Amino acid sequence: MAAPCLESRTKDCQNCYKCIRHCPVKAISFASNKASIIHEDCILCGRCYIVCPQELKVVRNDEEKIKTMLKEHDVVASVAPSFIANYGVSFETLRKAMLELGFKDVEETAIGATITKRAYDDLLNKGEVDVLISSCCHSINLLIQKHYKEALPYLAKVDTPMLAHAKDIKKRLGADKKVVFVGPCIAKIDEADHEKELDGAITFLELDHLFEEKGIVFKEENEEPIKEHSKARLFPITGGVIQTMNRDAKQYNYVFVDGVEEVKRVLEDVIAHKIHHTFIEVNACHGGCVNGPIINAKTHNLATSSLRVLRSAGTLDFEEPIIKSEDVKHEYAPYAVNHARPSEKEIEETFKKMDKKDPKNRLNCGSCGYDSCLEKAIAIIQGKAVIEMCLPFLMAKAQSFSDKIVANSPNGLMVIDENFKIQLINHAMCMILGVHSPRDLIQKDVSLILDTTPFSEALGGERVYERKLYLTAYNKYVNLTVTYDEKYHILIVLMRDITKVENEHAKRLEIVQKSVDITDEVIKKNMRAVQEIASLLGESAAETKVALNSLKETLEEKDD
C-alpha cells in the first residue's frame, strides 16, 4: 500500500492552529498539541500545505520511483494544462526538456479533458439528469465521497481528464507503456495510486528537481504559440470546462464554483433540492488549477496565469481521440467515513469543561479553527481536538490563574512602567504601604509612596535582589526585589514584609544582651566573694604560722 500523499511532521509543530483554521473539512487532529492529518477525512486540497508557516506539511516524493521507471520502461508523460502557469513556456519547449529527462513521449492532459467534456455534453443531451456536477477535480470527488454522500447521485459518472488521457494513451500507444501524470495537484497523486491505468503522478515541484539535476533552465516566453486544436487547454481556469463544452442541452443552466467552502454550500443546496436543471463546474482551488497548491506562486499570480491559459488555447477541440464517451464511465463509491454525533449529554459535559456551559460564553470566534464552539466540542469528543485549543478559554484560565496568584500572594507585588507609573498592585503591597485599595494607586507615580532609587538601579541593569530596607515612613522592614523586563518594558517589584522577623530578632538580641549583663554581674560578685575568702584565709594562715612558730620556740626552750 502506497504511503499517504500528504503528511504532517509533528516534531516541529508550533501549535499555531493555522492548518485547522484553513482546512475546509477539519481533517486535522491535535494530539499532545501537535497537528496530524486525519487521512480518512482529508480531501487532499493542499490548503494546509500552503498555509503552514513552518512548512511541516510534506507531499510524498516519488522522484526516485519515476527515475527508475524512466530507466526500465517507455514512459509517456501526461502534462496538466496548467503547465503554462508554472513555467511560462510553450508546450513544445516543455516537451523537449522532458524528453531530455528520458520520457518516451510527452502529451497534454487536455486531450483527456476533451474526452471528459464530451462525456458531459452527452449526459446532458440525454436529459436524464436534473443536476450534473463535474468530476474533473479529484479533491471535490473526495469531498463528495467522504463528506457529502447524499450528493453522489449528482456527480458525473465520468473519468477525470487525467484518467481519460491515460486510457487513451494506452489504447493508442500500447498497454505496455507507462503513464505518469505531471501537474500542480496533490490529490492527483492519490488518484493515480488507485487507478490501474496510471503508473504514477508527480507534481511540478518534483519535475523542477529533475530539471535542476539535468541542468535544464527555461527562459520565459512572452506568448504561447496558439495551436488551433487546443480548446481544452482552458480547463485549468475557473469556468474553463464550461467554455469548452458545446452546451447543446439548452434546458440546462451552466454555472461554475471554485473553492471548497463555496462548493460545500452548493452541495448542501443540491442535496436540499434547491437547484434544478443545472450543470455545475466545481474546482477545489480558487481560480482553478492554475492556482493549485504546487503552482510556483513566486513567478506568476492568478491573473497572469489565467491570461496565459486564455492566450494559449485554440478555438477547436484536440484532434479526435481514440477513447469515446462510453469508455470513460466511472463509478464513484462512497468512502466509509463515519463520525457518530455525540449525545447532547456528552456535548453539554464538554461545554462545561470548556467553561462554555452558559451559551453567552460560546463566542464562535473561530480562533481554534472550527466555525463554532459546538463543532469544537464535537471534535473534542471525537478525539480530534483538545480543550486548550480555545483561545478565550486559555486567556480566561491564564487570567484567573494570574489573578489568584497576585491576589493571594502573601508578599507585596507591583508592576510599574519605565516612567515609574504603577500598572498593577496587589492587596498585600497595599497592606505594607498602608493603602486602602489598589485602585488608589493605579497609574500613580511610585515616588508618591516609595523611594525610586532601587527602581532606577534595576532599570539601569543593576541587580536588586532581596535587598533589606527600612521604610521610615511606614516603620517597616522589607526585603525588596526589582526585576526589569526588557521585552514588555516593565519593572516587577516584589516586597516581603520582614518587620515582625526583625522585631523578634531585636528582642532576641535584647534578651541575649541582658543575659550577658546578668552573667557579667554574677561573675563579678563571685570574684569578689572569692577574693574576700582568699583574703580572710590569707590572714588566718599568717596568724596560724606565727602561733605555731611561737609554740615551736617555747618547746625548744623547755628542752634546753
| Cβ atoms of 77 and 96 closer than 8 Å | no
Map grid coordinates 560578685 to a residue. Answer: 525
Q: How far is CA 455 from the centre of its chain?
A: 39
Looking at residue 96, its pLDDT comes to: 96
Angle at 406 between CA 404 and CA 407, to 5 degrees: 65
Kindly report the number of other CB atoms within 10 A of residue 437's CB atom: 10
Per-residue pLDDT tens for 217-254? 988 776 656 788 899 999 999 999 999 999 999 999 99
Element (H, E) at 48: helix 47-51
Residue type, 420: F
Secondary structure percentages of the chain, helix, strand, coil, to 5: 45, 15, 35
d(CA 172, CA 117): 20
Angle at 548 between CA 543 and CA 552, to 5 degrees: 150
Pairing verdict, β 131-133 and 278-283: parallel
Q: How far is CA 291 from the centre of its chain?
A: 23
- Determine whether 5 is exposed, middle or buried from the number of CB atoms within 10 Å of its CB (0-12, 13-18, 19+): buried
Map grid coordinates 523537449 to a residue. Answer: 96
Pairing verdict, β 34-37 and 105-108: unpaired
Taking the chain, what is the end-to-end CA distance rounded to the nearest angstrom? 145
Angle at 436 between CA 434 and CA 437, to 5 degrees: 125
Pairing verdict, β 34-37 and 28-31: antiparallel
Residue 177 sits at φ, ψ, to 5 deg, of: -70, 140
d(CA 230, CA 411): 80
Q: Does domain 343-408 have CATH number 1.10.15?
A: yes
d(CA 133, CA 152): 9
> Residue 553 pairs with which residues in a beta bridge?
none
Residue 200 sits at φ, ψ, to 5 deg, of: 165, 165
| Cβ atoms of 81 and 52 closer than 8 Å | no
Q: 505-538: buried (b, 16+ CB within 10 Å) or exposed (e) per residue?
A: eeeeeeeeeeeeeeeeeeeeeeeeeeeeeeeeee
DSSP letters spanning 161-190: HHHHHHHHHHHHH-TTSEEEEEES-SHHHH
Q: Whole-number mean pLDDT of the chain?
A: 89
Looking at residue 157, its pLDDT comes to: 97
Looking at residue 389, its pLDDT comes to: 76
| Cβ atoms of 75 and 69 closer than 8 Å | yes
Looking at residue 396, its pLDDT comes to: 63
How far, CA to CA in Å, does 186 sit from each of 156, 181, 244, 253, 475?
A: 22, 11, 25, 31, 74
> Where does CATH 1.10.15 sit in the chain?
343-408
d(CA 533, CA 417): 76
| Cβ atoms of 164 and 191 closer than 8 Å | no
Looking at residue 291, its pLDDT comes to: 94
Tens digit of pLDDT at every position of the chain (560 positions): 689 999 998 888 888 889 999 999 999 998 777 889 999 999 999 999 999 999 999 999 999 999 999 999 999 999 999 999 899 899 999 999 999 999 999 999 999 999 999 999 999 999 999 999 999 999 999 999 999 999 999 999 999 999 999 999 999 999 999 999 999 999 999 999 999 999 999 999 999 999 999 999 988 776 656 788 899 999 999 999 999 999 999 999 999 999 999 999 999 999 999 999 999 999 999 999 999 999 876 566 889 889 989 999 999 999 878 888 899 999 999 998 777 788 888 888 888 888 788 888 888 887 777 888 888 888 888 888 877 777 666 666 656 656 677 777 889 999 999 999 999 899 899 999 988 888 889 999 999 999 999 999 999 999 999 999 999 999 999 999 999 998 889 999 999 999 998 888 878 888 878 877 777 777 788 778 777 777 776 666 666 666 666 666 666 665 55
| Cβ atoms of 295 and 306 closer than 8 Å | no
| Cβ atoms of 34 and 13 closer than 8 Å | yes
Looking at residue 213, its pLDDT comes to: 95
Pairing verdict, β 253-258 and 464-471: unpaired
Query: DSSP alpha helices (H): ranges in 153-292?
Result: 161-173, 187-194, 204-214, 240-244, 260-271
User: What does R_g of the chain's alpha carbons equal in angstroms?
Assistant: 44
> Where does CATH 3.30.70.20 sit in the chain?
1-60
Fold of 409-497: Beta-Lactamase (3.30.450)
Which cell goes with 46?
493542499
Fold of 1-60: Alpha-Beta Plaits (3.30.70)
Q: Where are the beta strands (DSSP E) in 241-314?
A: 253-258, 278-283
Looking at residue 548, its pLDDT comes to: 62
| Cβ atoms of 326 and 342 closer than 8 Å | no
- Determine whether 137 is exposed, middle or buried from the number of CB atoms within 10 Å of its CB (0-12, 13-18, 19+): buried
How far, CA to CA in Å, does 266 sit from each of 135, 235, 322?
A: 15, 20, 35
Residue 484 sits at φ, ψ, to 5 deg, of: -100, 125
DSSP letters spanning 368-401: TSSSSHHHHHHHHHTTS--GGG-HHHHHHHHHHH
